[in-house]
Amino acid sequence: MREGRAREKGQGLLEYALIILLIAVVSGLVLAVSGVSLREVYDRIVNALSGKTSPASCGVSAAQLANWQALEGNWRGGIQPGVDGFQVCQLCAGMLGGYSGSDYLIDLSGVQVENVLPANNGFGMAFRAESTEKGLSGYMFEIEQQNKTKPPVVSITKWVNGVRVNPALGEVELPAGYDWTTSPNIQIDVRGDTFTAYLDGKPILTVKDTTYQKGGVGVATKNGTTLKFKDLTTQDPACQSSQGGSVSTATSVPTSKSTSTPAVVKTLPPQPIETLPPGRKP
Confirm whether 18 is domain-assigned: no
| pLDDT over 70, % of the chain | 70
Confirm whether 26 is domain-assigned: no
Average pLDDT of every residue of the chain: 78
Number of domains in the chain: 1
Find the mean pLDDT for residues 202-230: 96
Is the pLDDT assigned to residue 191 strictly greater than 50? yes
Q: What is the dihedral of CA 187, 191, 195, 199, to 10 degrees?
A: -20
Confirm whether 27 is domain-assigned: no
Confirm whether 219 is domain-assigned: yes
Confirm whether 31 is domain-assigned: no
Distance between CA 191 and CA 227 in Å, rounded?
A: 27
Is the pLDDT assigned to residue 266 strictly greater than 70? no
Range of the domain at 136: 58-274
Q: Which residues fall within 8 angstroms of residue 98, CB to CB, at 6 or more apart?
A: 33, 34, 35, 36, 60, 65, 67
Q: What's the confidence (pLDDT) of residue 243?
A: 52
Confirm whether 50 is domain-assigned: no
The CATH number of whichever domain residue 149 belongs to comes to 2.60.120.560
Confirm whether 13 is domain-assigned: no
